[in-house]
Amino acid sequence: MNRLLTAFIFTAMLGWVASIILTAIHFWVIPIIPSGAELRGPMLVITSSWAYVGPVPLAAIGAVYYIVMIAMGSVWLTTKNELIERILLPVTAFGFVASMGFVYLQFFVIGAICPFCMVSAAATTILLVIELIVKYNGGVALTPSLQPQRVWATVFVTTALLTMFAMWSLTVLPLPVPGA
């Protein structure tokens, strides 16, 4: 079971990376796109009205969701608390349903695909599948907990490194630039 919980945490980290890249694009790239620029593909999705809840980018909400999943997964791994299992399942089930709605919008309403959005949808699907497997196998309460110091240090360092990677990736992604 500990391997499944570790996979849960690393899957949430993958979703985190996709979400913070998209969030950074919303805050740092979209404002400098010239008005009237022809947008295609992923940028069509990212700039659509469907990509926001009011003024807040869905990607930022996704980033919060994934950082909470990383933290709760870490608590789950170190405590084996059954309450965490009971809280996570409806939260990730909601995330899955929302992700499927966003995938539908990309394919059938917007008519373009955002690869980072699809990575996020895949990550949410995998999180739900892991939780269902854990639940089907009787939960994690009977497996030994891991040392919190080791888990939290690894999670912190890995998340920090992945965040730096995500920000670096903005420098190499084929994003629209002013005057181009």
pLDDT per residue as tens digits for the range 52-84: 999 999 999 999 999 999 999 999 999 998 899
Number of domains in the chain: 1
User: Is 127 domain-assigned?
Assistant: yes
User: Is 53 domain-assigned?
Assistant: yes
pTM above 0.75, yes or no: yes
User: Is 176 domain-assigned?
Assistant: no
User: Is 36 domain-assigned?
Assistant: no
User: Is 175 domain-assigned?
Assistant: no
Does residue 178 have a pLDDT over 90? no
Does residue 10 have a pLDDT over 80? yes
pLDDT per residue as tens digits for the range 125-167: 999 999 999 999 988 877 888 899 999 999 999 999 999 999 9
What range does the domain containing 73 cover?
Answer: 2-29+42-169
pLDDT per residue as tens digits for the range 111-121: 999 999 999 99
User: Is 138 domain-assigned?
Assistant: yes
Closest CA to 116 of 33, 27, 32, 14: 14
Distance CA 125, CA 93 (A): 9
